[in-house]
Amino acid sequence: MTQTSPEEAITLLRSFLTKNPGTKFFRLQWVDYSGVIRTRIVTRKRCEEFAAGSDHYSVAGNCLRMAILFIPQYYGEDPQEWRLCPDWTSLKPCEFAPGHASVMCFVAQAEAPDPFARCPRHLLSNVLKQFQADHQSNFLLGFEIEFVLLDDELNLVNSLDSIGAYSLTAGLRGRNLIMMEEIVSALEAAGIPVYHFHVEIPDQLEIALAPLPPMEAIDAYMFAQEAIRAIGIRHEVRVSLAPRPVLKGPQNGCHVHMSMNPPKSPTAFIEGIMHKMKSLCALGMPTYDSYCRVVEDGAGLWIGWGHQNRDLPVRRISDNRWELRFADCTSNMYLLMAAVVLAGAAGVTQEAKSLRWKDCHKELFGLTEADLATFGILERMPNSFTAALEAAKRDEDLKKWIGEEIFTQYVRLKEKEMEALHTMTDETRRRRSLVFF
């Protein structure tokens, strides 16, 4: 069930330990359907046994469909054995937790006809291999991670060095600067290149990761989330990446920068994404509060793309570099990017058809619906998760692309989450979300 042979796994582990001899504990990590990173910590001896294939690590049957807004006693299945299958190529030292290392895992259902049928990470791995085989092209991804700092009452931190406005030094002159430097140091120690960090808007900071191949990039993004949170705690602040960490204040997104190498009809690729935007929102913005970002200079109000246009869900930076703005940290990024690649691939395959969407390089403010129509912009973005999920449920292509197992499990989980919201106030929901994000 492992993705590497025991011989390869042992070689990778021993090489890692030679470079990091002080490692005593290993964090076996996976990402559930709600975008939450889950962790089991084992000793070095047990990790060596897993790598050698003489032992395996079992987890609960609901390991991928763990609920974040309610107790997950919502539907039953027969007892099942699930296992974590470490991807030993993803080993990273945790400078923010000395003596620890992390490894990302695939999740497998033992004895199932297709053990990995419900694993988003495995899905993305296969999708990337197929795209490369079909189009002789690969991708690079980079992530812009937005976050805020909260105090022990879960309110925005109030300090002498208040986080000012876009790209001001205010907010990066005291403890915050030390914290950000420690985060960058931890990322670089793990082999994760950092593009930059800065103040995004009042009360919000951002770290941008440099581009990497997709699997490495998403692994790095998940590692960065934990590094940011852990180092924040050291500095006595709660770091939140949640889309709505406070009821009045900054809204956090996670912008994905994407390029194709060599480019294969990139405009047609984006056309494919446009056609599936409503369904993709159910994967990229998969919580109730995600839709506070359906605004200008957020995820956008209209379905379209434009050169350097931050008021639309996709911004073109250059002919072969795009920014996907319809995502936040509540997304399972492996699942979202698998669907994005498949939607884009469908656009490339159908390139012979005329392209509907044109480059909307104009500011949207003041444009009429007739003006927008000249750029092929005819539909609004979903204004709620319910609307996005209903679009996904009607989308037979999406169901086929990600597989019925993942599709069914994901939809059932999210439907139950939405049911639970009816009993919650905004503040209750916010505080519950902050436990996870």
- To the nearest 10 degrees (0 to 180), the angle between helices 385-394 and 404-421 is 150
Q: Which CATH class is domain 127-436?
A: alpha beta
Instruction: Convert the pLDDT of each residue in 194-222 to its tens digit.
Output: 999 999 999 999 999 999 999 999 999 99
The pLDDT assigned to 86 comes to 94
Find where tokens 């444009």 sit.
Answer: 367
Interatomic CA distance for residues 212 and 381, integer angstroms: 29
Q: Look at 187 and 432; give whichever has higher pLDDT.
A: 187
Instruction: Convert the pLDDT of each residue in 135-152 to its tens digit.
Output: 999 999 999 999 999 999
The pLDDT assigned to 4 comes to 76
On whether the CB atoms of residues 151 and 143 are closer than 8 A, the answer is: no
- What is residue 142's three-state secondary structure? strand
Interatomic CA distance for residues 107 and 83, integer angstroms: 6
Instruction: Convert the pLDDT of each residue in 267-280 to its tens digit.
Output: 999 999 999 999 99
Interatomic CA distance for residues 138 and 378, integer angstroms: 31
Q: Which of 327, 287, 290 is nearest to 417 (CA)?
A: 287
On whether the CB atoms of residues 194 and 207 are closer than 8 A, the answer is: yes
Interatomic CA distance for residues 81 and 61, integer angstroms: 6
Average pLDDT (283-295) is 95
Flag whether pLDDT at 329 surpasses 90.
yes
Within 10 Å of residue 320's Cβ, how many Cβ atoms? 17
The pLDDT assigned to 350 comes to 82
Find where tokens 């990470």 sit.
Answer: 121
Which H helix or E strand runs over 401? helix 396-402
Flag whether pLDDT at 353 surpasses 70.
no
Indicate where the chain has its CATH 3.10.20.70 domain(s): 6-115
Interatomic CA distance for residues 182 and 372, integer angstroms: 45
Interatomic CA distance for residues 330 and 146, integer angstroms: 13
The pLDDT assigned to 77 comes to 64
Distances (CA, A) of 331 to 374, 409, 437: 32, 15, 11
- Which pair of tokens denotes residue 10? 């042992």
For 6-115, CATH gives 3.10.20.70
The residues, any chain, with a CB within 8 Å of residue 230's CB and separated by 6 or more, are: 96, 97
Distances (CA, A) of 244 to 24, 138, 287, 327: 37, 34, 10, 13
The pLDDT assigned to 74 comes to 47
Beta bridge partners of 94: 100
Flag whether pLDDT at 2 surpasses 50.
no
Indicate where the chain has its CATH 3.30.590.10 domain(s): 127-436
Q: Are strands 25-31 and 100-109 parallel, antiparallel or unpaired?
A: parallel
Q: Which amino acid is at 299?
A: A
On whether the CB atoms of residues 257 and 322 are closer than 8 A, the answer is: yes
Interatomic CA distance for residues 431 and 434, integer angstroms: 5
Within 10 Å of residue 1's Cβ, how many Cβ atoms? 13
What's the whole-number average pLDDT of the chain?
92
Instruction: Convert the pLDDT of each residue in 296-324 to its tens digit.
Output: 888 999 999 999 999 999 999 998 899 99
| Prior bond of 262 cis (ω within 30°) | yes
The residues, any chain, with a CB within 8 Å of residue 134's CB and separated by 6 or more, are: 345
Average pLDDT (53-58) is 83
Within 10 Å of residue 365's Cβ, how many Cβ atoms? 7
